Homo-oligomer: A and B are copies of this chain.
Amino acid sequence: KHILTLPGDGVGPEIMTGAKAVLEKIAKDFNHEFTFEDGLIGGAAYDATGTPLDDATLERAKNADAVLLGAVGGPKWDTIDKTLRPEQGLLKIRKELGLFANLRPIKVFDKLIPASPLKETIVSGTDILFVRELTGGLYFGRPSERRDGGNSVVDTLIYTKEEIERIVEYGFQAAKLRGGRLTSVDKANVLESSRMWREIVDAKSAEHPEVKVEHALVDSTAMKLITNPAHFDVVVTENLFGDILSDEASVITGSIGLLPSASLNSEGFGLYEPVHGSAPDIAGQNIVNPLAMILSAAMMLKYSFHLSEEAEAVEAAVDNALKDGIHTPDLDFEGGRKVGTEEMVEAVMSYIK
């Protein structure tokens, strides 16, 4: 299997090194061959090539079996032309590869319940899979422009029926593989796109009677994620709502440094990246938590390579390392042993059997 690695900016390179080491170990123990090829994205790409993602890299991504991405962005590039900012590289690769299904599992690790900003009784049992639409809506709708000589501005929330259908279908399939419950989030009391979304969910619901569906408004969901996060199983929603709600949900676990994500296209091709950002303030200090990147690599094993056993070996190793109290400084742990990024990676490797 051939993997394109795009470390990106800030802590990206450090966590990518960690994920590669873990994958090498898996390859050795389970008798696979993974080949890696490094590419540039984000600010690093801008500095080297003048654009946050060049076409050659995009071509290499298309030819790889999967893409691992670290993180992009940083204050260094805050003032450059908006079309060249690091995030544009991320938006471009998502769009060009058709990665419409963004999966963000939000799971509370028992050991980290005390680190949650929420009360223990509320957060415990939380295990949500966000299925976020990633290539449509306000992110890519046109027109997106100034008008009347700069006196007004417009962005466009646009979806085709097909775009909604495929992500909603993905939500139903995901619910079947999990707890059988699907929450579809919209703003149907205001938006026409949400009303169409709701109709499509209702139609699909008839095709999947074994899934229990509920409709929820985005504002109510923002509340319920705090008052009763354990209520949710699979949440399916459009791009911007998914961005806001999955980030909101990510912090209730007590560490965003543990959360992976997968972005898939209709052929099952995927890009895998941690939910956290490039954290330039802590880059290069050997203190960043590599687990979100490592768990993103585990998602790659599962979703792109169908190596479930290997994926579970990685997840179990992470789980066991945390259970034994080994953790990077970002985790607010009672007891345990605080280690650096490299030692954390080694610990995970030593737990893989």
Do B150 and A161 have beta carbons less than 8 Å apart?
yes
Which of these, B82, B139, B191, B252, contacts A195 with CB under 8 Å?
B82
Do B227 and A247 have beta carbons less than 8 Å apart?
no
How many copies of the polypeptide does the oligomer hold?
A: 2
Do B240 and A189 have beta carbons less than 8 Å apart?
no
Query: Which residues, 139 to 187 on A, are CB-close (under 8 Å) to B?
Result: 139, 141, 144-146, 148, 150-162, 187
Residues of A contacting B: mostly: helix
Given A118-B117, A219-B243, A223-B247, the answer on whether A192 and B146 have CB atoms closer than 8 Å is yes
Do A248 and B227 have beta carbons less than 8 Å apart?
no
Query: Which residues, 218 to 251 on A, are CB-close (under 8 Å) to B?
Result: 218-220, 222-223, 225-227, 240, 243-245, 247-248, 250-251
A138 CB-CB contact with B under 8 Å = yes
In the bound assembly, the distance between CA atoms of A222 and B155 in angstroms comes to 21
In the bound assembly, the distance between CA atoms of A196 and B154 in angstroms comes to 10
Given A138-B190, A153-B159, A193-B155, the answer on whether A244 and B226 have CB atoms closer than 8 Å is no
In the bound assembly, the distance between CA atoms of A151 and B181 in angstroms comes to 27
A256: which B residues are within 8 A, CB to CB?
Answer: 223
In the bound assembly, the distance between CA atoms of A21 and B139 in angstroms comes to 49
A122 CB-CB contact with B under 8 Å = yes
* A183 vs chain B, min Cβ distance (A): 16
